[in-house]
């Protein structure tokens, strides 16, 4: 077989072996330059230094094996910049910190890396504190017909990152378990000592803006590109944000090329993210796209049973069935209803919750959440707790104020759709981690502390009354 022909055939085979994003990004744009017979070396052109290094360091083994098979003898490969493209490589491509890292690695470690395994990382930057909710694990995720596919895909990705579906893109309506699934994957991977980052896309964006402002973009890149598993939640928020999309596109390519797993969640199918750049949209759809559907009645009942058991309360079957049928489709809202019912049981004793009372709770919850603004809630919660708004969102940290602040954050989170960074901003520019910590703390305590539960219940009630 002619050298040129062999190369073309190798490309066609690689298309079947590599995942689509890797192939499209690195292999498709290559071109055959020449073959040096005495040295048995193929010279292949790559469009830019990034792609060249990728092929040379990470994909070499696969490419070499396929090509040697087709050519009928062991050959070497040398990747060079295609002359045509030499000056066209964007300066930013030359700057990829990852390749400086890579260049520092022992050649052996880099060369023998089969693309289907998770490669070692030369230097390990600090990862952010884990923002994972301990309750969002696979064991607490109830499966059924409507979410079986997404559940199995998530399990497979957690077990074999970067080998089955990459990326795994999960989409579906609010409160149907997307974040739960993403974090369950993150928990599983973290437990196996894989370097894992879970971020809401807004946090990725904030991080990027901060890095640009502080001129620490190299660190930013190192952080996001040195992971084994990157999970980005609510990617719909980056649609229309140009700089973020651009950076995310490069992060995405770098990770996929290094055979690192990417998992995304979105509130709609990627093709419906109209503000998203085409090249990102096609990346998002390059692996498996799976949707979460509202669960069926039996599943909702199973989830309610699980919650009752976890909170050690005996909720009657009637009430469970009624809540499962009538609570909003969103499981998050169903949990809100359920928590209020549990709070009442703790207040009045478990016999005190009649169907009528439970139904009244449900009716109150049916009001749309959007009617409360952050300011309204902060204002009311401050007043009810005997503080001024300034105290509640200010810098002061007495025990009383801290507590009131956490309660306020908890209520905002429960009764609105504001994101963690937005809530942090409203509470005097606090970080999303602080908000999450506060909310989790109250959520935990409220289950064991009837006085706190009653206090929160009464705040909720005055809020619904005032709006
Ligand atoms: P989304 O990210 O899709 O808006 P979340 O993942 O935040 O939704 O889920 C909302 C709540 O519902 C969480 O408390 C989550 O644990 C719970 N939940 C959703 N689906 C399930 C399920 N199948 N089994 C158990 N809990 C679920
Ligand atoms: Mg979510």
**Per-residue pLDDT tens for 141-154?**
999 887 889 999 99
* Percent of the chain residues topping a pLDDT of 70: 86
Mutate to test the pocket of ligand 1, among 174, 294, 332, 418 (most ligand atoms within 8 A of CB): 332
Return phi, psi of residue 270, to 5°: -50, -35
**296 CB within 6 A, ligand 1:** no
**Which amino acid residue places its CA nearest to atom 23 of ligand 1?**
142
* Ranges 224-228, 369-373, 397-401: which has the least confidence: 369-373
Per residue in 404-433, pLDDT tens?
999 999 988 887 777 888 899 999 999 888
Residues 6+ positions from 453 with CB-CB distance below 8 Å: 342, 343, 346, 347, 446, 447
**142 CB within 6 A, ligand 1:** yes
Q: What pLDDT does residue 265 have?
A: 97
Nearest to 23 by CA among 2, 65, 54: 54
Q: Which residue has the tokens 């292999």?
A: 27
Q: Which ligand is nearest to the CA of 174?
A: 1
Atom of ligand 1 nearest to the CA of 334: 12
**175 CB within 6 A, ligand 1:** yes
How far is the C-alpha of 59 from the C-alpha of 14, rounded, in Å? 10
Atom of ligand 1 nearest to the CA of 144: 23
**11 CB within 6 A, ligand 1:** no
**3-state secondary structure at position 378:** helix
* Ranges 43-47, 250-254, 447-451: which has the least confidence: 447-451
Contact, 292 vs 171, CB < 8 A? yes
Atom of ligand 1 nearest to the CA of 299: 23
**3-state secondary structure at position 463:** helix
Per residue in 12-69, pLDDT tens?
988 887 877 778 878 988 999 999 999 899 999 988 776 787 787 778 888 998 999 9
Answer whether residue 351 shows pLDDT above 80.
no
Atom of ligand 1 nearest to the CA of 143: 23
**176 CB within 6 A, ligand 1:** yes
Strands (DSSP E) found in 216-259: 229-233
**331 CB within 6 A, ligand 1:** yes
Taking the CA atoms of 369, 371, 377 and 383 in sequence, report the sign of the dihedral they define: negative
- Start-end of H helices in 18-57: 20-22, 49-53
Q: What pLDDT does residue 347 have?
A: 76
- Please report which confidence band the pLDDT of residue 116 belongs to, taking 50, 70 and 90 as the band edges: very low
How far is the C-alpha of 429 from the C-alpha of 427, rounded, in Å? 6
Atom of ligand 1 nearest to the CA of 177: 6
């Amino acid at each position: 077989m002619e050298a040129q022909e062999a190369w073309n055939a190798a490309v066609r085979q690689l298309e079947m072996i590599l995942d689509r994003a890797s192939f499209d990004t690195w292999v498709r744009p290559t071109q055959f330059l020449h073959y040096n017979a005495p040295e048995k070396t193929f010279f292949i052109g790559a469009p830019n230094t990034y792609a060249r290094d990728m092929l040379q360091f990470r994909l070499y083994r696969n490419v070499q094996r396929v090509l040697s098979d087709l050519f009928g003898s062991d050959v070497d490969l040398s990747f060079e910049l295609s002359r045509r493209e030499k000056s066209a490589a964007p300066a930013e491509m030359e700057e990829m910190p990852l390749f400086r890292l890579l260049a520092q690695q022992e050649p052996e470690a880099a060369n023998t890396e089969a693309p289907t395994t998770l490669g070692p990382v030369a230097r390990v930057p600090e990862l952010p504190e884990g923002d994972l909710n301990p309750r969002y694990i696979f064991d607490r995720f109830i499966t059924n017909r409507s979410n079986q596919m997404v559940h199995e895909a998530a399990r497979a990705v957690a077990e074999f990152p970067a080998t089955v579906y990459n990326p795994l893109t999960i989409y579906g309506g609010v409160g149907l378990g997307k974040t739960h699934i993403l974090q369950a994957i993150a928990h599983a991977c973290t437990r196996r000592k894989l370097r894992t980052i879970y971020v809401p896309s807004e946090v990725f964006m904030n991080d990027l803006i901060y890095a640009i402002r502080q001129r620490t973009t190299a660190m930013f890149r190192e952080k996001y590109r040195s992971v084994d598993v990157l999970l980005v939640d609510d990617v719909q928020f980056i649609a229309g944000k140009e700089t973020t999309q651009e950076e995310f596109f490069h992060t995405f390519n770098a990770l996929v090329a290094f055979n690192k797993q990417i998992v995304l969640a979105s509130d709609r199918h990627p093709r419906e993210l109209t503000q998203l750049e085409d090249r990102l949209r096609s990346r998002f759809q390059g692996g498996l796209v799976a949707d979460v559907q509202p669960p069926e009645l039996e599943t909702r009942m199973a989830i309610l049973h699980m919650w009752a058991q976890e909170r050690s309360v005996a909720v009657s079957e009637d009430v469970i069935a009624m809540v499962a049928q009538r609570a909003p489709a969103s499981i998050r809202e169903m949990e809100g209803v359920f928590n209020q019912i549990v709070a009442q049981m703790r207040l009045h004793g478990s016999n005190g919750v009649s169907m009528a009372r439970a139904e009244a709770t449900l009716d109150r919850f049916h009001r749309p959440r959007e009617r409360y603004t952050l300011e309204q809630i902060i204002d009311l919660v401050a007043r009810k707790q005997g503080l001024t708004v300034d105290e509640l969102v200010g810098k002061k940290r007495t025990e009383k104020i801290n507590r009131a602040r956490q309660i306020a954050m908890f209520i905002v989170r429960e009764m609105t759709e504001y994101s963690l960074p937005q809530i942090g901003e409203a509470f005097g520019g606090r970080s999303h981690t602080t908000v999450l910590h506060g909310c989790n703390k109250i959520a935990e305590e409220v289950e064991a502390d009837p006085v706190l539960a009653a206090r929160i219940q009464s705040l909720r009630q005055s809020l619904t009354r005032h709006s």
